[in-house]
Structure 1
Amino acid sequence: MFNIDKLLSELLYDPANPVLFNSGFFFYFFALFILCYLLASNNKRARVIIYTVFSLYFFYKACGYYVGLVILSAIVDYNLSHWIHRTPSKSTKKTLLVTSIILNIGLLFYFKYTNFFIGIVNDLTAGHIPFLNLILPIGISFYTFENLSYTIDVYREEIEPVNDFMDYLFFLSFFPKLMMGPIVRAADFIPQISQPYRLSSEDIGKGMYLIIAGLFKKIVISDFIYQNFVQYIFDDPSKHTGLECLVGVYGYALVIYCDFSGYSDMALGIARWTGFKIPPNFDSPYQSSNITEFWRRWHISLSSWLRDYLYIPLGGNRKGKVRQYINLALTMLIGGFWHGASWNFIFWGAMHGGALALDKVRIDALKKRKAVFAGWKAALFKVIGILITFHFVCFCWVFFKASTFHDAWSLLHQIAYDFQPEIAMDLYNGYTAVFWVMIMGFILHFLPSKAEFSMETILGRLPVAGSIAVLVIFVWLLVQVKSTQPMIPIYFQF
């Protein structure tokens, strides 16, 4: 009886232990899923049902009965898209689209921003409106944007609505990307559903590389640096010297990149093994030589979504330079607010929006002067650009990570006024392993893409037994170094 109770407790949702890609439960879940999926590999309908059922269960294990919101969202937008498509009247189409936007944004707003605005009203009016006891459903920001892009694309007549509701529910609930993205568009995903399930050696090698790289980035680099150094710095910056705080900021830059891109890599790898290609979400963003390039490489699915469904509809660059700069700033301000109900996120978005606008001024000035650099000058300017961009991004990460503005300014104050470089050796001796993991992380980040391609090719040439052996050995090594308690991914909160 005890064993049955224990099994049931493992199978039911546990708020204290949501399912993660790097949790022990996930390996059993994924093994059973793959077995069932392979058995149904020749039947499209069966594949869709199995994938959808496992996806909804995965989401249930992550956030309990909030899984119902995914199903409800799918029902609403599936029907609205068909009404938009069938309706000849432009005004009716627009009304239905606005309905979809209001319902989706309204649901997101209710769970994510209600208490934030209650706090603002209380501060402005000295009121005492009680906060609501709301829990943010995991992944709601991601599948809300997927729903919106779908109905908007149908309205624009860029795609036709999906005929089979199960296909749409499958698209929306697809578990590899459900909770932390990437934000996948129906136009990219749904046509793949009807394709026969075939795996090439390239798919196997690419999928394995992405899964291994993702787990390595998440567990070996991100979790280790955060749990052994970064969290101590940001818990109370005033207790640490400026040198410690600066290294902590560099560490957090690596933590958030390896955490989020590691999870995205795993999502892409799992999808690849099951016959689906999801666009990449990161492209070595710290190699960027300007802030415009950074946003082409960082959280690509969000930045492209904001460009296509917010920046361009606002007017983009079609209404003059001043309006373009305003549109950029406003888009990034909203992008910051998307991350969470906090003034810190809004400020973070505003800084990036302002930087993007200034960068457009720089680009336009260079075009007018027809300035072209080559040879050593081009290389030098690129290196300088990378250093400036990286440090600006790190400066912004301080406000993204800090719990309050006070904590953010406290950390920056320590760097500016209490640096104490003489403790460098003591700091290194106290955190030697952390320093070397950080160095390894940055070296791997700056490796050329051809090194990644070579590794994918090698893994793709392995026989099935060899692939299984590589995965087993890698997972065993991870078990030896991972912490006893998996660290919740940073973007879970968004």
Structure 2
Amino acid sequence: MIDVNKLFDLLLYDPNDPVLFNSAFFFYYFAVFLLCYLAVHKSKTGRVWVYTLFSLYFFYKACGYYVGLVILSAIVDFNLSKWIHRTPKKSTKKLLLIFSIILNIGLLFYFKYTNFFIGILNDFAAGSIPLLKLTLPIGISFYTFENLSYTIDVYRDEIEPVDNFMDYLFFLSFFPKLMMGPIVRAADFIPQISQPYVIDSDDIGKGMYLIISGLFKKIVISDFIYLNFVQYIFDDPSKHTGLECLLGVYGYALVIYCDFSGYSDMALGIARWTGFKIPPNFNSPYQSRSITEFWRRWHISLSSWLRDYLYIPLGGNRKGKVRQYINLALTMLIGGFWHGASWNFIFWGGMHGSMLAIDKVRIDYLKKRQIQFGGFSGGLLKVLGVLFTFHFVCFCWIFFKAATFHDAWALIHQIAYDFQPEIWPELYTGYTAVFWVMVMGFVLHFMPAKAELSMENIYSKLPVVASVAVMVAFVWLLAQVKSTQPMIPIYFQF
């Protein structure tokens, strides 16, 4: 007999157990959602209402009554954008846009940065202002940027405002990307809402591949490496040798990539199954030969957002070389601050911004002198470029992950002054499975794009029954290897 009270409790928000793509609850939720969605798939209005209600409930299960912020944001920007579009006077349009930006950034600032600046005031003025008891709403950084891009695009006359409020709420609350991105733009998403729901074998195969590969990255690679090795290293680096710390940094490079890109892949796959195509967020970033290329491959939706709505408005490359380098550094500083209210993130963004500026100098120098490298020397430089870029990114990850500057420098100190390579046999014996999973993760990451395309084609050619069997078998396998408690995705905190 079904315990009604237990079922009711399961359906309510639990702050200690937020819904995740890799949680058992999500599989039941998604199955019910698909049944309801397919039941109304011929009606555009029905699809919008079902998807929106399920999305809002999904967000409620993730962060409780903060779901109201999504609805409030949608109401404000839906109406402001229409007002901006109807207003003929340019100065009034600009005032309305500024008002929208202040509201959106103000909401984000209040929840994310208030305590950070209170701490700064207390430090500099020897004050004792109490910190506020604030909980960061999950996904607020993502849907704030989506709101801003929508209103700015309307102001620029690049898109027309949405006529139907439910369409805009649907766009903003779309659950596959709501909490961890990608940052989707209204111009790319909203036109798809009115299109009939039609999916083919390619959509099914591509969606399945993305969901399976995303779950594999998240649970088998990221969670396993973090729980069984990386967390011990970063908890107290001074207790570990330099060799352990270095391997911990390599491990974290895989952890953060597989965690975030795995979730993004699942979002893309779920969207594909429901008739929507959202842009990819990652493209094998550790294959990059320069830091410029890295930021074209890593968190692509954030990189392009910062370029279009911050770097270019600051002047981009239109106001001279020095100003361009300053704009690059400033954009990445703000990008680092977007990740969190911490000096570590600001320093991380500053290092990337500085390196982007230096790389731009290198690119301009080679172009000006028409220097090109081919043959053996060109191939060697490509390999060296990948190695340098990867290790620079890993160095920056230390500050991104470490709780404090002290912990970051302690880890770097261990690598530089207490390496102890002779402990490798003992270390390998203790963490054999972890190191082989790391090897597997890097091998998969450096596989050519053709291999991924081949896998997608195989999935797309499977009959429906075989596809269901593959998915069920894969979910069963994950249940055998995953940790008892699903690990909270890293980018939930942003």
How far off its partner does 1:15 sit? Answer: 0.1
TM-score, normalization by structure 2: 1.00
Unaligned runs of 5+ in 2: none
Percent identity of the aligned residues? Answer: 82
Deviation at 1:4, TM superposition (A): 1.2
Aligned residue in 1 for 2:149: 149
Q: Give distance in 2, aligned partners of 1:166 and 1:149.
A: 18
In structure 2, distance between residues paired with 1:377 and 1:160: 51
Partner of 1:252: 252
- Alpha-carbon displacement from aligned partner over 1:385-437 (angstroms, at most 9, x marks no partner): 00000000000000000000000000000000000000011111110000000
Return 316-325 or 454-463, whichever deviates more. 454-463
1:352 CA drift (Å): 0.2
* Structure 2 residue aligned with 1:94: 94
Shift of the alpha carbon at 1:378? 1.2
Pairing 1:46-195 to 2, within 5 Å after superposition: 46-195=46-195
Q: Match of 2:490, as an amino acid?
A: I
* In 1, Cα distance between equivalents of 2:3 and 2:222: 35
**Structure 1 position 396 matched with structure 2 position 379:** no
3-state SS, counterpart of residue 120 of structure 1: helix
Q: Could you tell me how far 1:369 is from its partner in structure 2?
A: 1.5
* 1:51-103 deviation digits (Å, cap 9, x = unpaired): 00000000000000000000000000000000000000000000000000000
| Residue identity in the other structure for 2:309 | Y
**What's the secondary structure of 1:18's corresponding residue?**
coil
Task: Give the distance between the partners of 1:142 and 1:340, measured in 2 at CA.
Answer: 13
1:451-462 alignment, distance < 5 Å: 451-462=451-462
Aligned residue type for 1:362: R
Structure 1 residue 111 displacement after superposition: 0.2
Partner of residue 448, structure 2: 448
Question: Shift in Å at residue 325 of structure 1?
Answer: 0.1
Which AA in structure 2 matches 1:405? F
The residue that corresponds to 1:221 in the other structure is 221
Q: What are structure 1's unaligned runs of at least 5 residues? A: none
Query: 1:379 and 1:29 mapped to 2: Cα distance?
Result: 49
**Matches of 1:378 and 1:79, distance apart in 2:** 55
Residue type of the partner of 1:279? Answer: P
Report 1:241-390 matches (<5 A). Answer: 241-390=241-390
Shift of residue 376, structure 1, vs aligned partner: 1.4
When structure 1 is superposed on structure 2, of 461-470 and 143-152 the one drifting more is: 461-470
How many residues are treated as equivalent by the alignment? 494
SS class of match (1:344): helix
Counterparts of 1:16-55 in structure 2, within 5 Å, are 16-55=16-55
What is the CA-CA distance between 1:368 and the residue it aligns to?
Answer: 1.4
Please state how far the C-alpha of 1:113 moved relative to its aligned partner: 0.1
CA distance in 2, matches of 1:474, 1:395: 35
Tell me how large the CA RMSD over aligned residues is: 0.7
The runs of 4+ residues in structure 1 deviating greater than 6 Å are none
Matched residue SS, 1:247: helix
Secondary structure of 1:269's partner?
helix
Separation in 1, partners of 2:324, 2:22? 42
Structure 1 position 486 matched with structure 2 position 483: no
Paired letter, 2:248:
G
Amino acid in structure 2 at the alignment position of 1:12? L
The Cα of 1:2 is off from its aligned counterpart by 8.3
Distance 1:73 1:243 in 2: 48
Shift of 1:265: 0.1
Distance 2:127 2:5 in 1: 48
1:142-179 CA distances to partner (integer Å, 9 max, x unpaired)? Answer: 00000000000000000000000000000000000000
User: 1:448, 1:45 → 2: CA distance?
Assistant: 42
CA positional deviation for 1:5: 1.3
**Hey, what does 1:206 align to over in structure 2?**
206
Q: Which deviations, in whole Å up to 9, do the C-alpha atoms of 1:242-268 show, x marking residues without a partner?
A: 000000000000000000000000000
- Which position in structure 1 is the counterpart of 2:474? 474
Q: Does 1:197 align with 2:169?
A: no
CA distance in 1, matches of 2:368, 2:50: 57
Partner of 1:230: 230
Q: Take 2:378 and 2:166, find their aligned partners in 1: how far apart are those partners?
A: 53
Distance 2:273 2:281 in 1: 18
2:243 partner letter: L
Query: Using the alignment, how far apart are the partners of 2:478 and 2:250 within structure 1?
Result: 24
Offset from partner CA, 1:261-295 (integer Å, 9 cap, x none): 00000000000000000000000000000000000
SS in 1 for 2:3: helix
Determine if the alignment matches structure 1 residue 419 to structure 2 residue 423: no
Q: CA separation in 2, counterparts of 1:451 and 1:36?
A: 35
State the alpha-carbon separation in 1 of the partners of residues 379 and 409 from structure 2: 34
Paired letter, 1:407:
D
Instruction: Kindly provide the amino acid, as one letter, of the partner of residue 87 in structure 1.
Output: T
d(CA) in 1 for partners of 2:303, 2:449 = 22
Distance in 2 of aligned mates of 1:119 and 1:269: 41
Deviation of the 1:235 alpha carbon: 0.1
Distance 1:51 1:170 in 2: 7
Q: What TM-score do you get using the length of structure 1 for normalisation?
A: 1.00
Amino acid corresponding to residue 291 of structure 1 in structure 2: I
d(CA) in 2 for partners of 1:200, 1:229 = 42
Once residues 432 and 426 of structure 2 are traced to their aligned partners in structure 1, the CA distance between those partners, rounded to angstroms, is: 10
Distance 1:469 1:107 in 2: 45
Code of the aligned partner of 1:492: F
1:355 maps to amino acid: M
Aligned mates of 1:32, 1:7 — CA distance in 2:
15
